Amino acid sequence: MSKERKRVHGIGQLPVLRLLAVAPSFSTGYIVSRYIPMPHPRDLGAAHYRALAELRYQIRRFLAFSEAAARAADVEPQQHQLLLVLKALRPHEKPTIRAVAGRLQIQHNSAVELVKRSVERGLVERRISPEDRREASLHITPAGDRVLRRLSLAHRDELRSAAPVLVKALEALVGRARRG
């Protein structure tokens, strides 16, 4: 007897699994069809909610660690994020306030104030373009670079210790990545 499984839509467009069983006989073959209700693909079970809650909890723990580490280094958490954004920009991306605002998901005027505080603190410097005086580029100072390096090493260590739990929560939500 061979079996074939098909996903079809049943009453009210709820998915069902159609199981076809083909059994040969001496004179003619026959087909048996049976419908098994399946959960809607958009429905989530309790395990998915637990995994989502666990992932959000782990993210909040990491963010709390990050904020505490920044404050321990005597910088605001957003100043740390500013330094990281500037350091991580790709070569074709200009280090501007617009780029910072976009990467930090903050308003332009908030980015201006953040840069102003960071310049006053000696972490960042603004350089006015000689070609277009309306354009300013942002650059990390040596002091900012030292702070960023210390914080980045601490963050890498924290992520290494949290990685197994984070990976487990992600896998529970999205499944294991298939390798070709």
* 153 in any annotated domain: yes
| pLDDT at residue 171, rounded to an integer | 87
Q: How far apart are CA 97 and CA 28, in angstroms?
A: 77
Residue 82: domain span: 46-174
| pLDDT at residue 129, rounded to an integer | 83
Query: Do 50 and 27 share a domain, yes or no?
Result: no
Query: Do 61 and 22 share a domain, yes or no?
Result: no
**57-88 exposure pattern, b = at least 16 Cβ within 10 A, e = fewer:** ebeeeeeebbeebbeeeebbebbbbbbbbbee
Q: How many domains are contained in the chain?
A: 2
Query: Do 30 and 63 share a domain, yes or no?
Result: no
Query: Do 122 and 87 share a domain, yes or no?
Result: yes
Q: Which residues of the chain have pLDDT under 70?
A: 1-41, 176-180
| pLDDT at residue 82, rounded to an integer | 98
For residues 158 and 65, the answer to whether their CB atoms sit within 8 Å is yes
Query: Do 21 and 110 share a domain, yes or no?
Result: no
* 179 in any annotated domain: no
Query: Do 126 and 97 share a domain, yes or no?
Result: yes
Query: Do 32 and 55 share a domain, yes or no?
Result: no
| pLDDT at residue 135, rounded to an integer | 84
* 55 in any annotated domain: yes
Check which CATH number belongs to the domain holding 120 and give it. Answer: 1.10.10.10
| pLDDT at residue 61, rounded to an integer | 94
Query: Do 82 and 146 share a domain, yes or no?
Result: yes
Query: Do 30 and 50 share a domain, yes or no?
Result: no
For residues 143 and 120, the answer to whether their CB atoms sit within 8 Å is no
Backbone φ/ψ region at 74: left (φ over 0), alpha (ψ -120 to 50), beta: left
Query: Do 17 and 52 share a domain, yes or no?
Result: no
